[in-house]
Amino acid sequence: MWNYEKRLQFPVNIKEPNAKLAQAIISQFGGPDGELAASMRYLSQRYSVPYREVAGLLTDIGTEELAHLEMVGTIVHQLTRNLSMEEIEKSGFANYYVDHTVGVWPQAAGGIPFNACEFQVKGDPITDLTEDMAADGAAL
């Protein structure tokens, strides 16, 4: 089970909306190397790890990734609030807006929906850890 703290891991206070930037940053929310994929990767892989301390570590890392997901979602939200119709059209945000308005939906920058195929769970700790390193290396 999980507990929630009503604060961000690091504060986010964006003053000026920028829909164009939001469309790039949303990939870190629901894209192939985003925080949602990272969290689900660790929280799914942990069950089959034969070492308790490593399975516990994957749980704590997967939890921290959820805190990252919340910061990135907040950035997208604050970049897209109070947008005018003119800004929506001018910034190329109109296609996203048609389906989601200013809701934050997990997708890649190119519009591809979040998908569990972004990560792998093989039940073998060396294989899974190798995949973790590739994924977290891509996100750096």
Partner 1 sequence: MGGQEKLLRDIGIVDFVLVELTEYLDTHPFDRNAMEYFNHYARIKHQMSREFAQKYFPLTKEMAESDKEWRWGMAPLPWEGACG
The residue ranges that bind partner 1 (CB under 8 A) are 3-15, 53-54, 56-57, 60-61, 64, 70, 73-74, 77-78, 81
Rounded to a whole number of angstroms, the minimum distance from the CB of residue 69 to partner 1 is: 11
Residue 74 or 91: which CB sits closer to partner 1? Answer: 74
Long-range pairs for 1-4 at CB < 8 Å and ≥24 separation?
2/63, 2/66
Residue 77 or 97: which CB sits closer to partner 1? Answer: 77
Q: Give phi and psi for 92, each to the nearest 5.
A: 80, 15
Q: How far apart are CA 118 and CA 127, in angstroms?
A: 15
Q: How far apart are CA 23 and CA 17, in angstroms?
A: 12
Residue 104 or 115: which CB sits closer to partner 1? Answer: 104
Helix (H, G, I), strand (E, B) or coil at 140: coil
Rounded to a whole number of angstroms, the minimum distance from the CB of residue 72 to partner 1 is: 11
Residue 17 or 31: which CB sits closer to partner 1? Answer: 17
Rounded to a whole number of angstroms, the minimum distance from the CB of residue 27 to partner 1 is: 18
> Which of 52, 40, 64, 66 minimizes the C-alpha distance to 121?
40
